[in-house]
A and B are shown apart, each in its own frame.
Chain A
Amino acid sequence: MSQTIAEKILAAKSGESRVSPGQIVDAYPDLVMSHTATWRSVSVMKKIGARKLYDPKRLAIVLDHISPAKTEKYAADQQTSRNFAREYGIERFYDVDAGIAHLVLMEHGHVKPGDLIVGTDSHCTIYGALGALGSGIGYTEVASVWVTGKLWMKVPTTIKLTLNGRFAAGVSAKDLMLHLIGTLGADGCGYKSVEFYGSALPQMSISERMTMANLAMEMGSKCVFIPPDEKTREWLLPRLKDSSTYEPVYADKDALYERSLDIDLAALTPMVACPHQVENTKPVTEVLGTRIDQAFLGSCANGKYEDLVIAARILKGQKIDPRVRLIVTPGSKQIMLEAMRTGILATLMESGALVTNPGCGACAGDGGMLADGEVSLSTANRNFVGRMGSNKSSIYLSSPATLAASALKGVIADPREFY
């Protein structure tokens, strides 16, 4: 009894009956994912002379960060990853056309509640939207998990966040997370697990939960959980190969939390993260009128279908400001297809947007690079110096609604006037 979700999952995956915070266990992940970095893990395997994988069925590879190759080096690295997948018969291999790794893996039913997932990307925390424990590691460690099947993990303490009330019109999960990151700080949840509860949760869509679990990384979280409910089941069950494997893990009623925080969603307003740290948050009202050169709608934080819909609603029938370059990168092929079918893509194109192929896109500098002095608004999750080009450029982070409103006006704008 009195175990948190993280404690239960780590106990289960390390063959322990129970664990406690601070304890170091050898855990066996259900899934080890790697993206464009895969070639590096392949080179480690070569370097150490390992040939055999612990369990090829536990690997997933999605080539998402640079899609497609624009230099010979990227092309060669992608080929290395492809060849590795073919050589080892990795079924869960998705090429440069599939989209963002996290979204693709969840869409295809490779993530389920209670899973332990590690990968070459810090935003593995996003899997917590489906009740899985996701945590990022480096490429050498991924190779190690490939070969040994396990890695050491220190059992985290858990912070409990309770959300009550409802968002005001124009305010969304991204604003909630920016508010939290600004309040708790970039290391406010460092090494910790985060569990979300509250009366607001049942109303939150899976897309919003993904945004939350994604952004939680920017508070330093080791992992984050939105406990599965009816919505999770509805979204995930049709995607699972075997629905009998759907076994959510919940915290015990008497689980011990390091800290508890209550948040009233109704009190929240649209937020932005100002250059050059995610924790440098401000209400949008304090930066209204800031000129922008570029607006990026995409990323694993806000490149989902629902996010495109929010933006399209504001942009419908209008033209973006001629000084703004609006880049829209659907998070995955599936998302792009749905946007094609429902007219969302046409609406975005008609407003003057540049719609790219699915992938990580401008978030990680794959296109959309900025020159000296340029400013970009972005729905991604990081605004560190030089991330999108020049170290003399600036990135503001916001929600899709704020982004759309701002693309129309040519300056950072309050989305609430469109609601």
Chain B
Amino acid sequence: MEDKIQGRIYKFGDNVNSDIIIAGRYLIYIDPVQLAEHAFEMLGEGFPAKLRSFDILVAGRNFGCGSAREQASTAIKGLGIKAVVAASFARTFYRNAINDALPIVECPALYEAVAEGDQISIDLARGVVSHAGSEYGFPGIPESVGKILKLGGLANYLKSTLET
């Protein structure tokens, strides 16, 4: 998994919930590509198509709140999104993102600073996000948990532990 992630950001507000990210009727899918076709569909016209030209999502508080549906992070990955930076994450989304190997960064200060289309650069190793010449620190994921992310998600992590 990449230690440095960069790209154009799309900005969401607070409380972007699980049903907005992927509606219940699409939970029949687990494939990221199929899910991505319906990601954020509930927001209406232009979604999800418009998100495909962005690399990173930046959101306010409580991103991914609501259901424990794992497909929320899978759908975002399927869109080609490389990371999600939020002021805070709902705990179920946080866990599922790690299990899905979708890098997540908790950084309220960045949320305040950016606008749609801005370029940012995330250094996962140093725990720093760069934007317009400024650097914002973010807490690292605890090592015991982070190793899941590093090994490409929980399924891969499990597989490797079973093989040993």
User: Which A residues fall within an 8 A CB radius of B?
Assistant: 24, 37, 40, 43-44, 47-50, 65, 71, 73-74, 77, 120-122, 136-141, 143-144, 147-148, 152, 154, 186-187, 190-191, 220, 222, 277, 279, 364-365, 382, 384-387, 391
Chain A min CB distance to B152 (Å): 12
Q: Which of B1-9, B49-57, B92-100 contacts A (4 or more CB under 8 A)?
A: B92-100
Per-residue CB contact flags for chain B residues 74-93 toward chain A (1 = under 8 Å, else 0) read 00000000000000101110
Residues of B within 8 A of A143 (CB): 155, 158
Residues of A within 8 A of B95 (CB): 137-138, 141
Residues of A within 8 A of B115 (CB): none
A122, B158: Cβ atoms closer than 8 Å: no
B42, A385: Cβ atoms closer than 8 Å: yes
* Chain B minimum-CB-distance residue to A76: B28
B28, A140: Cβ atoms closer than 8 Å: no
A384, B155: Cβ atoms closer than 8 Å: no
Chain A min CB distance to B138 (Å): 16
CA distance A47 to B43 in the complex (A): 33
CA distance A137 to B68 in the complex (A): 6
Q: Pick the contact of B154 from A77, A144, A385, A386 — CB < 8 Å?
A: A144
With A152-B144, A220-B91, A364-B24 in contact, do A382 and B158 touch (Cβ < 8 Å)? no
A141, B159: Cβ atoms closer than 8 Å: no
Residues of B within 8 A of A121 (CB): 67-68
Q: Pick the contact of A190 from B20, B24, B69, B88 — CB < 8 Å?
A: B88
CA distance A137 to B70 in the complex (A): 8
Query: Is B113 part of the binding interface, using a Cβ–Cβ cutoff of 8 Å?
Result: no
Q: Pick the contact of B90 from A77, A152, A190, A385 — CB < 8 Å?
A: A190
A220, B90: Cβ atoms closer than 8 Å: yes
Chain B min CB distance to A237 (Å): 30
Q: Which of B41-73 contact A (CB under 8 A)?
A: 41-44, 61-62, 65-70
CA distance A312 to B19 in the complex (A): 31
Q: Pick the contact of A48 from B44, B65, B159 — CB < 8 Å?
A: B159
CA distance A89 to B66 in the complex (A): 32
A40, B18: Cβ atoms closer than 8 Å: no
B155, A140: Cβ atoms closer than 8 Å: yes
Chain B min CB distance to A383 (Å): 9
A382, B19: Cβ atoms closer than 8 Å: yes
**Residue contacts A-B, CB under 8 angstroms, 17 given:** A48-B159, A71-B28, A120-B68, A122-B66, A138-B69, A140-B100, A141-B70, A144-B158, A148-B158, A154-B142, A186-B65, A190-B88, A382-B19, A382-B67, A384-B19, A386-B20, A391-B43
* Chain A minimum-CB-distance residue to B73: A138
With A140-B100, A279-B15 in contact, do A186 and B28 touch (Cβ < 8 Å)? no
B61, A139: Cβ atoms closer than 8 Å: no
Q: Pick the contact of A122 from B20, B41, B68 — CB < 8 Å?
A: B68
Q: Which of B6-53 contact A (CB under 8 A)?
A: 15, 17-20, 23-25, 27-28, 30, 41-44
With A48-B158, A382-B19 in contact, do A152 and B100 touch (Cβ < 8 Å)? no
Residues of B within 8 A of A382 (CB): 19, 66-67
CA distance A143 to B157 in the complex (A): 12
With A365-B24, A382-B66, A387-B24 in contact, do A147 and B92 touch (Cβ < 8 Å)? no
CA distance A220 to B91 in the complex (A): 8
Q: Pick the contact of A138 from B65, B96, B145, B162 — CB < 8 Å?
A: B96
A44, B27: Cβ atoms closer than 8 Å: no
A147, B158: Cβ atoms closer than 8 Å: yes
CA distance A364 to B24 in the complex (A): 7
Residues of B within 8 A of A73 (CB): 28
* Chain B minimum-CB-distance residue to A381: B66
CA distance A393 to B149 in the complex (A): 38
Query: Is B103 part of the binding interface, using a Cβ–Cβ cutoff of 8 Å?
Result: no
Other A-B pairs beyond A152-B144, A186-B65, A385-B20, 5, CB < 8 Å: A140-B96, A144-B99, A191-B91, A386-B19, A391-B44
Residues of A within 8 A of B27 (CB): 37
With A24-B145, A144-B154, A187-B90 in contact, do A136 and B68 touch (Cβ < 8 Å)? yes
Q: Which of B17, B30, B66, B68 has the most CB of A within 10 A?
A: B68
Chain A min CB distance to B114 (Å): 21
CA distance A220 to B68 in the complex (A): 11
Residues of A within 8 A of B96 (CB): 137-138, 140-141
Q: Which of A37, A48, A144 has the most CB of B within 10 A?
A: A48
CA distance A238 to B157 in the complex (A): 42
A147, B65: Cβ atoms closer than 8 Å: no
CA distance A137 to B93 in the complex (A): 9
CA distance A122 to B72 in the complex (A): 13
* Chain A minimum-CB-distance residue to B100: A140
* Chain A minimum-CB-distance residue to B21: A384
CA distance A154 to B139 in the complex (A): 15
A43, B62: Cβ atoms closer than 8 Å: no
A24, B91: Cβ atoms closer than 8 Å: no
Chain A min CB distance to B108 (Å): 12
